[in-house]
């Protein structure tokens, strides 16, 4: 096993869905096979509005032939492994290139290697990116998903006689507590710490937002910890959303179940327009795939 870099453009022509799969041509197969069972970091190139740096990590579960395209393969991402970085990490810092292999002997960029859509990365470089992308602070406490069972994640059961330092270090950085903190921070920042359904922006005396970061597709159902599977909701709205009493159409119109006892109260609580407020950046808005999953469980 080895760690790798997957280059992904927002306007990719490939059948990519970074939280779940990454499509690539056959010429990269031998290289990609090294990463099965290990971690990769997603890199944004300049094209498609990319920022030249790293934005997420994930674990490769397996690689399969693409059943819909000849000479194409798909890297399947392990469920619940995708984790966006709290802070975007530029590929070059004051200390040089974060991927050591991108630096030539004279200190300049290796233009050939940076063009590789799939490439290996050392454990040291991977951990350096991870350290820069995940804050050690916990000022935004983990959100509570009301009604969800204990969440599965990357925090393995204790293994007292395993001394694999690098594996232990990464699992510490990606356990459920950290993932919850990252998810909450990214979602609340995207929604300006305001409930998407009601507009409420309540801040307690300690400066902590009372609004919660809700998964649209629950973690227990392998919903990923990504902004587009998240939405900021006040506690009461979150409770109803989790139980299928509230949902959203693809254009963010709020759906109210007929099973709610007092519909008029709910209509007075939500935005008068009947539509949720979502982030301005399309990349941060709820994805139709997750909204469709939620509507299938809506109690009409």
Query: Each residue of 119-169: pLDDT tens digit?
Result: 999 999 999 999 999 976 544 433 334 334 333 333 333 333 333 556 666
Closest CA to 190 of 173, 166, 214: 214
Q: What is d(CA 251, CA 108) in angstroms, rounded to the nearest whole number?
A: 47
Q: What is the pLDDT of residues 273-289, one digit of tens each?
A: 999 999 999 999 999 99
CA distance 300 to 298: 6
Which secondary structure element, helix H or strand E, spans residue 5, and what is its range? strand 3-7
Positive or negative: CA dihedral 273, 277, 282, 285: negative
pLDDT of residue 157: 39
Q: The whole model's pTM is what?
A: 0.83
Asked if 183 contacts 143 with a C-beta cutoff of 8 angstroms, the reply is yes
Q: What is the CATH number of domain 3-133?
A: 3.10.590.10
DSSP state of 2: -
Q: CB under 8 Å to 151, separation ≥6 — which residues?
A: 145, 176, 219, 220
Residues of the chain below pLDDT 70: 136-169, 172-173, 204-209
pLDDT of residue 135: 76
Q: Is 192 helix (H, G, I), strand (E, B) or coil?
A: coil
Q: What are phi and psi of 129, to 5 degrees?
A: -65, -45
- The DSSP element (H or E) to which 294 belongs, if any, is helix 288-295
Three-state SS for 250?
coil
Beta bridge partners of 212: 233
Tally of residues, the chain = 300
Query: Domain segments of the chain: what residues?
Result: 3-133, 192-295
* pLDDT number for residue 9: 93
Residue ranges of alpha helices (H) inside 13-138 are 29-33, 123-133
Q: How far is CA 253 from CA 173, 268, 295, in A?
A: 37, 15, 12
Looking at residue 95, its pLDDT comes to 82
Q: pLDDT at position 260, please?
A: 92
Contact 14, 49 (CB under 8 A): no
């Amino acid at each position: 096993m080895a760690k790798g870099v997957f280059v992904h453009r927002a306007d990719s022509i490939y059948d990519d869905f970074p939280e779940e799969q990454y499509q690539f041509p056959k010429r990269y197969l031998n290289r990609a096979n090294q990463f099965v069972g290990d971690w990769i970091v997603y890199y944004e190139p300049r094209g498609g509005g990319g920022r030249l740096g790293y934005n997420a990590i994930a674990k490769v579960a397996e690689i399969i032939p693409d059943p819909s395209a000849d000479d194409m393969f798909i890297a399947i991402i392990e469920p619940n492994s995708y984790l966006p970085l709290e802070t975007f990490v530029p590929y070059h810092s004051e200390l040089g290139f974060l991927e050591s292999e991108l630096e030539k002997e004279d200190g300049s960029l290796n233009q050939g290697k940076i063009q590789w859509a799939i490439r290996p990365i050392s454990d040291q470089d991977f951990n350096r990116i991870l350290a820069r992308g995940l804050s050690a602070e916990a000022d935004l406490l983990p959100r509570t998903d009301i009604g969800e069972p204990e969440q599965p994640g990357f925090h393995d059961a204790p293994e007292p006689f395993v001394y694999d330092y690098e594996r232990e270090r990464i699992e510490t950085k990606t356990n459920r507590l950290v993932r919850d903190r990252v998810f909450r921070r990214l979602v609340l920042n995207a929604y300006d710490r305001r409930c998407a359904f009601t507009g409420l922006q309540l801040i307690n005396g300690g400066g902590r937002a009372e609004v919660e970061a809700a998964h649209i597709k629950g973690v227990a159902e392998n919903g990923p910890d990504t902004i587009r599977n998240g939405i900021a909701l006040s506690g009461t709205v979150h409770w109803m959303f989790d139980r299928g009493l509230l949902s959203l159409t693809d254009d963010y119109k709020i759906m109210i179940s007929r099973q709610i006892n007092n519909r008029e109260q709910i209509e007075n609580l939500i935005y008068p327009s009947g539509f949720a407020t979502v982030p301005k950046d399309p990349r941060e808005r709820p994805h139709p795939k997750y909204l469709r999953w939620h509507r299938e469980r809506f109690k009409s």
